[in-house]
Structure 1
Amino acid sequence: MKLNEHNLIKMQNIIQEHEFEHAADYLIEHTRQGIRLSKQGEEDYASSCNSRIGGDPDLPEGMEWPLTSDGTPMTFLAQLQLRDLAAHDATASLPHSGVLYFFVGVDEPAYNIEHRVLYLAEDQTAAASRGRAPEGTALDEEFAGYRIEARATLEPPNYAYVDDELVEDDEHDFESYEDLCHQLTGQESDDIATIFGYPSTQHGDCEHEAALMLLTGTEYNYSMEAAVQKIADHFGGNAEQAQQEIRDTLLLLAIDSDDEIGFCWWDAGELQFFIRKEDLLARNFERTYCSLYSS
């Protein structure tokens, strides 16, 4: 999705400040308009349906807790008050009101992790109150609850996605590029999650993995070429549509490891939720994909 006018001007100014004019066209084309979520202190549950990570969710009375396929209660991860996020969503893709909830099952293996993303409209959450987690949820851990606050951000390609040959030259090494990225994202120590950015990975293939499973139900074999071919076969051999589907596979939420909350995704990695753009715009959160990256 193209940068809006405000972000385009901001991008151009930062590129000029860091003297990256040689890569300007590439960076403008590939930088994503994202949202970062940062911790704002421990949750006291004085407010209902505010944006929160860890702890307990606010649920309507009588709502059943999500279960895994074997009947184990899933572990609650986060709730996002979409009314508060709307002002920071430069893509205008998220619903403008209501609450998104994220639950997860056992995080092994690291791909196609059992999970649930629930969307409740504003009228469904009007009388919501703190819902205590059942004993013995899937991850069998208690996570401290923290209030979180959103801010708009620009998300350039990270080390796994960037074209090194285009951003590096005789005067600019990768460290110079990281300095530019830091200013674009405005990274803060309390950042805990990202929406619509680039996922952490080593190979830049997370969207291939997610799109392959969402569209064909097939597990990824770590070949981007094979994934494109299988998706193309799904569309009658249309390779162009396959590539577009991969581009339209969006990072709905990436949750970092965090000692204060108690999140530790394997070796301090990142838990990632993906959704197809078509499903997001249709408010269909029944079809999402969850995976885990850890170095």
Structure 2
Amino acid sequence: MESIHFQILNEEVQIGQSKIGGLPHLRREEEYPTNERGFFEFVAQLNFEELNVESEIIPKKGILSLFIGAISQNEYECIFYPEPPDDLEKKEVSSNTPFLGDTDFTQTKSGKFERSNEKNNYNDLFLISESWSYKDPVYLKIMGFGELETNILFDYKNNYKVDFFGRNSGVCKVEDLIKSKEECFQLGKLSWEEWKDKIIQFDRDKKYHEEKYQELICLLSIPTNYEIGMVWGDMGRVEFFIMKEDLIAKRFDKMIVKYAPD
């Protein structure tokens, strides 16, 4: 699957156009997304008809707006209009509503999309791309193995990679992983026996996961852009993942958002 690249330009954006940052364009009666803790940050708006991506899995039309909360908790909200509405308008959040994200909130400018032919430009926005972060823990979480995501990063060419507090401590087979309790197991909600059973269950269905893993798509990878004021860490990115079947069915509520460090 070939990644589609877009430059982000600090230019005026018309209502309903694809963009990152600034204020979202929502229907007149639509409320800006909030929860009991505060408001979500608007990060991107995709007008699929305008983007005109030649792919059987990307919608041909419709507008998708994406908002994030605390990325450490994979918090996001999305609003999808299958048909572009004719009553879109800029929506602001109430001034007395707190921000529920991980850091302080700073209002960004709008950044306009423009197709790019520079496939190696890290500053571009990527659509249906390879991820710059780890796909592995995202896949584990989507498939119901969230308890393992901080313990194992798997790679089907190299069996299992063990991740221990962010350090890649080598490659081992599942039987070695089970034996290496001291090195690999992190105390959490699962007991040691429950954690071991999760690994065995995952390994039992390994062939299924090998095939299913290929269907995990990074739908959108948004770069840091100092010109419009959208900054993730230093030069990091925010990425939205979705399974192929959910993308085809336009089930954007099934995504996972992840921070990709530089």
TM-score after normalising by structure 2? 0.73
Summarize deviations over 1:1-42 as a string: whole Å, max 9, x none. Answer: xxxxxxxxxxxxxxxxxxxxxxxxxxxxxxx31211212332
SS across alignment from 1:80:
strand
Alignment CA distance shift 1:100-1:242 (3 Å): same
How many Å separate the matches in 2 of 1:63 and 1:211?
32
Alignment CA distance shift 1:75-1:241 (3 Å): same
By percentage of residues, which structure has more helix?
Answer: 1
Matches within 5 A, 1:132-211: 132-135=92-95, 136-139=98-101, 140-150=105-115, 185=119, 187=121, 191-201=123-133, 206-211=134-139
How many Å separate the matches in 2 of 1:263 and 1:273?
16
Following superposition, the deviation at residue 149 of structure 1 comes to 2.4
Identity %: 21
Aligned length: 217
What CA RMSD, in Å, does the superposition of the two structures yield over aligned residues?
A: 2.7
Summarize deviations over 1:176-235 as a string: whole Å, max 9, x none. Answer: xxxxxx6xx163x8x44111222214xxxx22211111120514124223899858836x
Q: Does the CA-based 8 Å contact 1:232-1:241 persist in structure 2?
A: no
Matches within 5 A, 1:1-295: 32-43=1-12, 45=13, 47-68=14-35, 70-86=36-52, 88-89=53-54, 91-107=55-71, 109=72, 112-123=73-84, 125-135=85-95, 136-139=98-101, 140-150=105-115, 185=119, 187=121, 191-201=123-133, 206-216=134-144, 218-219=146-147, 220-223=149-152, 224=154, 225=160, 230=198, 233=201, 237-295=204-262
Q: Does the CA-based 8 Å contact 1:253-1:273 persist in structure 2?
A: yes
TM-score after normalising by structure 1? 0.66
| Structure 2 segments unaligned to the other structure (5+ residues) | 155-159, 163-172, 175-197
SS across alignment from 1:122:
coil
How many Å separate the matches in 1 of 2:215 and 2:66?
21
Summarize deviations over 1:218-262 as a string: whole Å, max 9, x none. Answer: 14124223899858836x932111112211110011111111121
2:157 is matched with none
